[in-house]
Every structure is written in C-alpha cells, then in structure tokens.
C-alpha cells in the first residue's frame, strides 16, 4: 500500500486461545483543582488534577515519538489493551488527532486490543502483537508510541496486586528493552468499582500498582477513571444516561479521546527545538524481579510436561456446562484441565520462567 495512512487492525489471537500457546521463558472539566492531596487508607494519594482539565501526569516529554512524526515523517503507534481498546471509538479518534497534527506523516496504527485481556496476557503477547515478531528471528519492528490500558480487566479478572505489577512492569520494561526510545502512555480506564473506590477515599488497587510502574519508568499516565468519577460528582453528566458502561457510549469515547488529546497538546505545546535529539530512556532496576519482562508466546505444539493438562485441538469451553462465549473464544486449540490444582501448577511454572533471564527447559 502506498497511501499515506495505513490502519493495521490486527485482531490477533483471542483471549481464550492464548491458552493454546505454551507461555514460556524468554472536553473541558469544570472541577477546580484542590491545593491538598487526600490520602486513602493505604497512604496512596488520591489523584487530583493539577489544573481543571489535566487528568494526566506528564512524565518525560514524548519527544522521541514526536521527532519520528515531525522530522522523519513516519510513525508506528500501537494500542495494547482489552475490549475498550479493541472496539472502535477513542482509539480511532486518537489516530485522527495524530493524522491532523502531523499531516505529512505516514502512520501505521496497530490495534492490539484483545477483549478480556489485561496486563499479564499483554506481557506475554507483547513481542507478537506489539513488535510483530515471534521472538525467534530477532526481527523487531520499530514502535514509536505505545498506549497501554489494563486497569479494567486486571481488576475484573481478579488479578492480585502482585500480578498487576508484574504484568504492567513486564509490558513497560520489555518494551524499553526492545526499543529504549519507545514512548509509553499508561491509561487507567473506568468501571463502577473504581468510581466506588474513589468516592470512598480509596485509590483503586490496580491504579496504585499500574501508577507505581508508570512512575518508576517515567512514563506518562492518564487518570480517566478519576476524571469520570469527579466530573459525575460535579454534576456534569451521569453514568446511567451519559457514560453508560465500562465500554463507553459515544459520549464516553469522546471524553477519553479529548483527554488524550489535551495530554498530547500539553506535551507538544512548544516548538520542537532544532537541537533536540532522540534519547534512550533509562532502565532502572525492576520493581519486582519476578515481573514478566521476558515473557513470550510459543506454539502449543512445543509444550512439554503438561502436568495434568490435555491438548484439545478444537475446544468449545461451553461444553459441558454451557454459558456464553465471546467470538474467538471457541473452537480453537486449548490446554484443558479439570483440576484447579493443575491450573495452579501451570500458572506457577509460567510465572517463574517468564521472569527469568537465564535459559531454562521450555515448559508450561
């Protein structure tokens, strides 16, 4: 294709068929900013906007991707997350914002959203879905800007605080190891439980964990859950009639996109100085040495020592108990086990090998 703008909607392996792989080593806001910072019961500060419409924390300057877009006239932007990223809405509006801001730039936009997935599967599929490689040929695509969201699915999927950290750190750290100049934006999307937490004076656990990673790696973060809660409580709109769902209405999609655009506007508010050059982001010591920063997906055919699992080539997870299944979650290869203890052993082995930096026997 020779058109200036290319949209790669890469609807990659759906969530349930991730189990079919061996996971192995390798608008304007009327709220006024408050001068004080409330603390929740865990002494984690409740986010308060620095200005009425700044529901984000700019860390660094996002100049690396800007240099690529503005000077080199090319850019690859990846959106990694769950169904809120997979679906049309804020992501398309953000692509359009970038096209309009850099009209001479040839963009490649990659939709790496897979419904129901959070930071842990995101860490494992990073190589394939973000950098376009299976990890065997050494060819890693240049990615200039990565938008990452996992706050909704990490909490709704019941991830522990430890897993939330290991998954998000796995994504950010692995991305920076593969491309030290990649700019990353971590987003905290909203669901009703997060609104309840904020109203009770608590920062949601998942926001605490993901924000700690963003701060540690000096990446920009956007507090969309906090924005929705504060604006609803200020009487600007309602959840029931306006935002409606954790999968936002068109109104909610526009709110997300507007906040992302305000963040980028502020980051790039001044002209790019002629002497500004791309720089490598520092790679500090990991928050958790067991984070999944070496995780990757491998074909299920390479799995050994199944420890009670059975390979089902064409699995229908609705059988025999029934239930609903999202498109792509059915009639795909899966490793199946009927014992929770077996599933625990599998998960434990995966977690240990994914964070290792030494060669180990491949196993699931």
Tell me phi and psi for residue 342, to 5 degrees.
-65, -45
Q: What is the mean pLDDT of the chain?
A: 84
Residue 11 has pLDDT above 60, yes or no: no
Residue 28 has pLDDT above 50, yes or no: no
Would residue 225 count as lying in a domain? yes
Would residue 347 count as lying in a domain? no
Residue 321 has pLDDT above 60, yes or no: yes
Would residue 188 count as lying in a domain? yes
Alpha helix positions (H), the chain: 63-70, 83-86, 90-101, 119-124, 126-129, 151-156, 161-178, 192-199, 205-216, 224-233, 250-267, 340-354
Instruction: Give the confidence band of 135 by pLDDT, cuts at 50, 70, 90.
Output: low
The predicted-structure confidence for 173-215, as pLDDT tens digits, reads as follows 999 999 999 999 999 999 999 999 999 999 999 999 999 999 9
| Average pLDDT of the residues in 10-27 | 38
C-alpha angle 304-305-308 in degrees, rounded to nearest 5: 125
Instruction: Give the confidence band of 340 by pLDDT, cuts at 50, 70, 90.
Output: confident
Would residue 169 count as lying in a domain? yes
What pLDDT shows up at residue 39? 41
Would residue 237 count as lying in a domain? yes
Domain count, the chain: 1
Would residue 252 count as lying in a domain? yes
> Above pLDDT 70, what percent of the chain?
80
The predicted-structure confidence for 259-313, as pLDDT tens digits, reads as follows 999 999 999 999 999 999 999 999 999 999 999 999 988 877 777 777 788 888 8
The domain that contains 11 carries what CATH number? 3.40.50.1110
Residue 130 has pLDDT above 80, yes or no: yes
> Above pLDDT 90, what percent of the chain?
65
What pLDDT shows up at residue 315? 87
**Structural domain containing residue 30:** 5-267
Would residue 344 count as lying in a domain? no
- Alpha-carbon distance 4 to 138, whole Å? 28
The predicted-structure confidence for 74-122, as pLDDT tens digits, reads as follows 999 999 999 999 999 999 999 999 999 999 999 999 999 999 999 999 9
What pLDDT shows up at residue 338? 75
Would residue 84 count as lying in a domain? yes
319 vs 236 pLDDT, higher one: 236
- Alpha-carbon distance 188 to 152, whole Å? 8
């Amino acid at each position: 294709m020779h058109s200036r703008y290319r949209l790669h909607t890469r609807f990659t392996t759906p969530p349930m068929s991730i189990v079919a792989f061996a996971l192995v080593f390798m608008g304007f806001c009327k709220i006024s900013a408050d001068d004080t910072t409330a603390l929740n019961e865990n002494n984690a500060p409740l986010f308060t906007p620095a200005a009425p419409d700044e529901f984000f924390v700019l860390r660094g300057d996002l100049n690396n991707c800007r240099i690529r877009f503005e000077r080199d006239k090319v850019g690859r932007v990846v959106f990694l997350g769950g169904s809120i990223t997979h679906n049309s809405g804020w992501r398309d509006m953000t692509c359009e914002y970038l096209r309009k801001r850099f009209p001479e730039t040839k963009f490649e936009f990659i939709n790496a959203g897979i419904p129901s997935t959070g930071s842990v599967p995101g860490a494992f599929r990073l190589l394939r879905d973000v950098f376009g490689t299976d990890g065997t040929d050494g060819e890693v695509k240049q990615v200039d800007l990565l938008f990452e969201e996992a706050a909704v699915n990490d909490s709704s999927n019941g991830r522990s605080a430890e897993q939330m950290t290991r998954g998000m750190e796995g994504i950010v750290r692995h991305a920076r190891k593969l491309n030290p100049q990649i700019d990353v934006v971590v987003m905290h999307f909203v669901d009703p439980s997060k609104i309840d937490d904020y109203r009770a004076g608590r920062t949601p656990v998942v926001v605490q964990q993901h924000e700690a990673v963003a701060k540690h790696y000096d990446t920009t973060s956007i507090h969309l859950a906090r924005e929705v809660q504060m604006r609803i409580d200020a009487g600007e709109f309602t959840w029931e009639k306006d935002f409606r769902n954790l999968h936002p209405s068109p109104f909610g999609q526009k709110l997300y996109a507007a906040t992302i655009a305000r963040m980028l506007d502020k980051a790039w508010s001044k002209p790019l100085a002629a002497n500004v050059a791309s720089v490598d982001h520092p790679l500090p010591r990991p928050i958790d040495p067991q984070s999944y920063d070496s995780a990757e997906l491998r074909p299920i055919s390479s799995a050994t020592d199944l420890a009670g699992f059975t390979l089902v080539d064409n699995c229908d997870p609705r059988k025999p108990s029934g239930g609903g299944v999202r498109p792509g979650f059915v009639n795909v290869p899966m490793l199946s086990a009927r014992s929770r203890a077996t599933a625990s052993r599998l998960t434990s082995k995966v977690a240990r090998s994914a964070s290792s930096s030494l060669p180990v026997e491949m196993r699931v």
